[in-house]
Amino acid sequence: MRRGGLAAQLDQSGQTRIWPDNRIVSSKYTPLTFLPVMLFEQLLRPANFYFVCIAILQVIPVITTSGGRPTILVPLIFVLAVSGVKEALEDYV
């Protein structure tokens, strides 16, 4: 019988023995933490961080050359989405 990460079993004397479950979980993400952790890890990569900084600069009216539209976001979101799908497949499959 299992209860919340603990395993229980009757011993020879009829008493219930409870001990921690010895399963090993090697997944990096949980469904709740997948998006924040994946985005954090992707933004630690210098190229992705650079493109986020460029997207922020494209929104500033004094600096922009794109009329205030962050045009670099389209390829950046595509790269982050592909990386996210790859990370999800590696972690869950």
Of residues 18 and 83, more confidence is placed in: 83
Question: Is 65 inside any structural domain?
Answer: yes
pLDDT at 32: 92
pTM tops 0.75, yes or no: no
Question: Is 63 inside any structural domain?
Answer: yes
Question: Is 85 inside any structural domain?
Answer: yes
**Count of domains for the chain:** 1
- The tens digit of pLDDT for each residue in 39-92 reads 999 999 999 999 999 999 999 999 888 888 999 999 999 999 999 999 999 988
Question: Is 47 inside any structural domain?
Answer: yes
Question: Is 58 inside any structural domain?
Answer: yes
Residues 6 or more apart from 17 whose CB is under 8 A from it? 8, 9, 10, 11
Question: Which residues are 6's β-sheet partners?
Answer: 3, 20
Owning domain of residue 59: 26-92
